[in-house]
Every structure is written in C-alpha cells, then in structure tokens.
Amino acid sequence: MTFTQLEIFALVAELGGFTAAADKLGISQSAVSHAIRQLEKEWGLTLLTRGQAGIEATEAGRGLLLRVRELLGVAEAIRQEVSAARGLNRGVLRIGSFGTTSSLLLLPRILEQFKASYPEIDVFVEEGEDDEVAQWLAERRVDVGFVILPDERFDTMPLVADQFVALIPAAHPLASQPSVRLADLCAMPFIMTLAGNTSLIEKLFESAGLRPMVKHRYAQIITIVKMVESGAGVSIVADLAVPAPLMALCPGMVKKPLSPVVGRSVGLAVPSQKHVSPAVAAFLQTSKSMVKSLRGGSLGGL
C-alpha cells in the first residue's frame, strides 16, 4: 500500500471514473487501473464497481474511503507544516460553501485577503446545499466548510448571526405589516428555496403544525426574488441572502421579519480542530479577522 495508490483510490471514487482520475493526476488510465488492482489484491477486497452513475465505491470500499481520506489529510498537513517550517507556505485547501450568505457575501472577501497573504496555497471551492457541505466534511472531501450552527458533528467557529425573513410582493396587504406570522404565509402559494435552509424552513412549519402551499421550488435566490416580485407567491429565506443591492433591483418585493423572530448562525466547521493543516488554520484565522472587520457595515448589519 502506497500513498499514491490511496490517492488514486480516493480520486476515482470522488470523480466516478478512471479516465477522469487519470486526467486530473496527469497519468495514464492504465496506471490508474493498475494502482487499484494492486490495492484490491493487497487488501483482498473489491473496492470499486460500476454503477448507474459511473464508477463508485463498494460497501467495503465506502467504509475504507473515510479512513483513506483521513490519512491523506494527515499527509497533506505534514507536507504543509514542512513547507511552513521552510518559509514556503505552500499547500492545498479545499473549501465547501453554500448559498448566497457564504458564496457571495463572505467567501469572496475572505479569499481575497487569504490569497494576498498566502499566494502559494492552492484553493479549491465546492458549492452545494448546506446539508451537502456537512456531508462533504464528514467524508473528508473538503477540509473546511461553511455550515449552519450549531452542528455537534464538527469543531466550529461562528462567523455571522442572521435571521429568516418573509419575501412578500409589495402590493400584497402583508407588505404593510411590521412582521409576518408563519400562518399568514399559508394562505397563498409558497415558493420553497432549494438554495439552502430547505430542511430548516420545512421544520419551522412542521413545529408550528402548519403546511404551506408549496407551488414552486427554485435553487437560485434571484429566481425566488423575481417570482415573488411578479406575484407568483411568497417565500422564506435568510436575511443575508437578499442584501440591499439585490433588494434595490426588485422594488416590487419587500422582506419582513418573522413573528416570532427566527434566527440562525453561520460559521465554519472542520472535522477536528486538533488535526487541521496550516492552510486550514490560516483560513480560519483570516475568516475570523475579516468578518470582525465587516461587522456593522458592509454586510448589511452583521
């Protein structure tokens, strides 16, 4: 068993194909196949099989894949610490991000400062829904991720406080009220966000014993905003997902706090604070400093 074989195994499972893994590693497909065969022969297990979506890990392979990714993460951390000791600050950083709050408002500003301070660190970003990012963290597919707090599965660092708001057509009678109850939103078509927080919003209604009339489901916040403005329905999203510049583009829509207020907290998470690489530690520190400097101003009331 070699680190190269483990890296190839993890990459084939992640990308779903031998060719894709070979292209990313810059080696031949036969070399990838040979590495997998040698690993399976040594372990006496079938690690990969062909499924409907391509090559995927077997049940035994999935169980080992988590440990393989942990081991590769430790190896990467050692390489980064050696580079830091030599004054090179090189390495790889994989970030999981979701929705407007992290991908649009927080991450670009944090990365701008991070890349200025650590230009030799190679950064990769994967965007998905909030539940997906948490899953990627658990599977060690990303090193650090934006999450909704609290999340007891990981070591976390709070970044920003937020709340949920109702999006209402400006011409609707609810638009003149200071706040909106969940029950008020059940009397008209509801637009459910798929851009993050879907499960949280569903639980809000469930806990209140209510069921919204979901007629639309959209993954893009701009689509949700424009559909509300057109009068197609109402929605609930995170306040930071609809910042002032976006509101200015949609004068036919207003946002109102929920009554009672429903808050949320967004932060960064790592599988274990004790085993973070120098690149992750630097990203966490940069994020903490950057968000502190932005509070009360350019992020719309953070």
| pLDDT for residue 92 | 87
Map out the domains of the chain as residue ranges: 1-68, 161-263
Q: Which helix (H) or strand (E) holds 44?
A: none
| pLDDT for residue 124 | 93
CATH class, 161-263 region: alpha beta
pLDDT digits (tens, 9 = 90+) for 238-271: 998 898 888 988 999 999 999 999 998 999 999 9
d(CA 284, CA 216): 37
pLDDT digits (tens, 9 = 90+) for 46-56: 999 888 778 88
| pLDDT for residue 301 | 39
Do the beta carbons of residue 247 and residue 241 sit within 8 Å? no
- With vertex at residue 228, the alpha carbon angle to CA 226 and CA 233, rounded to the nearest 5 degrees, is 145
| pLDDT for residue 204 | 94
d(CA 302, CA 297): 7
Q: Which fold has domain 1-68?
A: Arc Repressor Mutant, subunit A (1.10.10)
| pLDDT for residue 159 | 92
pTM of the entire predicted model: 0.70
Residue reference for tokens 């809000």 = 204
d(CA 31, CA 251): 58
Average pLDDT per consecutive 10 residues, the chain (302 residues; last block may be shorter): 88 89 87 89 89 84 87 81 68 87 85 91 89 89 92 93 95 94 95 85 94 93 94 94 88 95 93 88 92 57 40
| Backbone angles phi and psi of 281, in degrees to 5 | -60, -40
